[in-house]
Amino acid sequence: MSGNIKKIGVMTSGGDAPGMNAAIRSVVRTCAYHNIECIGIYRGYEGIIEGDFKSMNARSVKGIINKGGTVLKSARSKGFRTPEGRKVAYDQLINAGIDALVLIGGDGTFNGGLVFNKEFDFPIIGIPCTIDNDIYGTTHTIGFDTALNTVVECIDKIRDTASSHNRLFFVEVMGRDVGHIALNAGVGAGAEEILIPEENLGLDRLLDSLNKSKQSGKTSSIVVVAEGDKIGKNVFELKDYVEATLDEYDVRVSVLGHMQRGGPPSCFDRVLASRMGVKAVESLLEGKTNYMVGLINEQMNLTPIEQAVKGKSKIDRELLRVADIMST
């Protein structure tokens, strides 16, 4: 292991996700295992600029593996977007004796880290953590599995009332501009239709599908809509449109919103976060920098962070076909 790294900073940034705390815990404990000091940085890049640091040891992270959110908080930082702000951040890290950073977050977090590394040659390793699962270089981002289970649980509840009142529900889910949450949770919850930005179903095909559901005897339906979907109407406009066009439908809307970001992480996300934290710290100790840790073929992998931010996560075409068949 490289002797150059004696003190590692860890921070969370961007939208929080279940499993962030498990990742923090793993980074801190791996540092302790290797007798490396670990500094917790509050509120991401803003916290670096302000020197909002806290020394952390193995005991500092007890009891957090099962907690949603992030004990290190997250914040957006206008200052870090400026060269002057990044210079202040660099000086703060040097003054604190921090030799490298583990960045827990999404593509925005990694983009910031890349700029910082280019300006100051400061070692960084990224851990992908967002419910969107929209990051190239890993099949799973931390938080995605938990969000799927939250959405499926919510849709199961909505289906009870939909079937009691013979209603159609449009359920909007998060995912920014990708449809991974909508597609996977839609299949998992048995949705009749799933609208995602990657596959524009179009209004006519939606109406046709809803008509077929009715004709096949379905008395209630769930349509899961990714927030980034491009059908051209938001869920409230879709409600009005369907009610005006298919008068036999009584329609309601449910926007799941930020509850998809909370709750205790699933076992899968806790294990993933624990594995990624070890890989991130040990990669730094091996002298590696500018990589993102990822899960590929069930194994921990490193992807150059420049590729991770430039790449696009792709929708699973086979799963798309499964969804189509399941809506028969």
Nearest to 10 by CA among 62, 70, 59, 64: 70
Binding mask 176-215 for ligand F6P (x = CB under 6 A): x---------------------------------------
Which of 5, 103, 125, 174: binder of ligand F6P (CB under 6 A)?
Answer: 174
What's the one-letter identity of residue 112? G
CB of 147 to ligand F6P, least distance (A): 8
Which of 21, 130, 138, 290: binder of ligand F6P (CB under 6 A)?
Answer: 130
Nearest to 132 by CA among 167, 181, 95: 181
**44, 218, 241 from 203: Cα distances, Å:** 42, 20, 9
- Which CB atom, from 144 or from 170, has the smaller least distance to ligand F6P? 144
165, 124 contact by CB (below 8 A):
no
Q: How far apart are CA 151 and CA 9, in angstroms?
A: 33
| Binding region for ligand F6P (CB under 6 A) out of 95-103, 129-137, 215-223, 320-328 | 129-137
CA 123 to chain centre: 24
Q: What angle do CA 297, 303, 309 make, to 5 degrees?
A: 115
Assess 27 for contact with ligand F6P (CB under 6 A): no
Assess 155 for contact with ligand F6P (CB under 6 A): no
Locus of tokens 């801190």: 28
Residue in 52, 99, 107, 132 annotated catalytic: 132
Please, how many CA atoms are within 13 Å of residue 248, restricted to the half-sphere of its CB?
12
Binding mask 229-268 for ligand F6P (x = CB under 6 A): --------------------------------x-------
- Which CB atom, from 72 or from 210, has the smaller least distance to ligand F6P? 72
Which of 112, 113, 137, 175: binder of ligand F6P (CB under 6 A)?
Answer: 175
Binding mask 131-150 for ligand F6P (x = CB under 6 A): xx------------------
Span between the terminal Cα atoms of the chain, in Å: 56
| Catalytic status, residue 132 | yes
Nearest to 14 by CA among 119, 126, 96: 126
Assess 15 for contact with ligand F6P (CB under 6 A): yes
| Binding region for ligand F6P (CB under 6 A) out of 33-41, 52-60, 169-177, 270-278 | 169-177
Assess 13 for contact with ligand F6P (CB under 6 A): no
Q: How far apart are CA 12 and CA 27, in angstroms?
A: 12
Binding positions for ligand F6P, rule: CB under 6 A: 15, 130-132, 174-176, 227, 261
Residues annotated catalytic, as ranges: 132
